[in-house]
Amino acid sequence: IDALAASDTVATVLPGVSFTLNHGYAPARMLIDRGVGVAIASDFNPGSCMSYSMPLMMTIACTQMHMTPEEAITACTLNGAAALGMSDAVGSIEVGKRADMIVLDLPEYTHLAYHFGTNHILHTIKSGVLLEF
């Protein structure tokens, strides 16, 4: 953890894998507390995690890995982009970045990390263009 904290490396955790395989969870809380950037991914595949639901991954991260909803959302967006070397273009809503985002039907953003299993997406915006489905 010391080496990670001293670097720009983003630690990517796979909560769905730990859940599916009944293995121990990555020490996300310890990593965050030590200043390590943490990203969340699903590792969707038939051997270790049969879910690509990022809200489910956030729920597991919050309930089992002791992350806050804010940390889980950041781990799925900005830190995920940073792990891929793309945080200068995507991952947050900032001037100069691509406007890729979703509009959710939730009473507040923290519900995203706890209310999984349903589609909360009202609108999808890709490169600043509202997509119609």
Q: Which amino acid is at 43?
A: D
Block mean pLDDT (10 aa), the chain, length 133? 95 97 96 98 92 94 98 97 97 94 93 89 95 90
Threshold 0.95, pTM exceeds:
no
Return the sign of the alpha-carbon dihedral for residues 36, 37, 38, 44. negative
Domain 2-131 has CATH 3.20.20.140: yes
pLDDT at 133: 83
The strand pairing partners of 58, in sequence order, are none
pLDDT at 60: 97
Q: Are 2 and 27 in contact (CB under 8 A)?
A: no
Both tokens of 20, joined, read: 């599916």
53-69 confidence digits (pLDDT tens): 999 999 999 999 999 99
Domain ranges for the chain: 2-131
SS (H, E, C) 70-103: HHHHHHHCHHHHHHCCCCCCCCCCCCCCCCCEEE
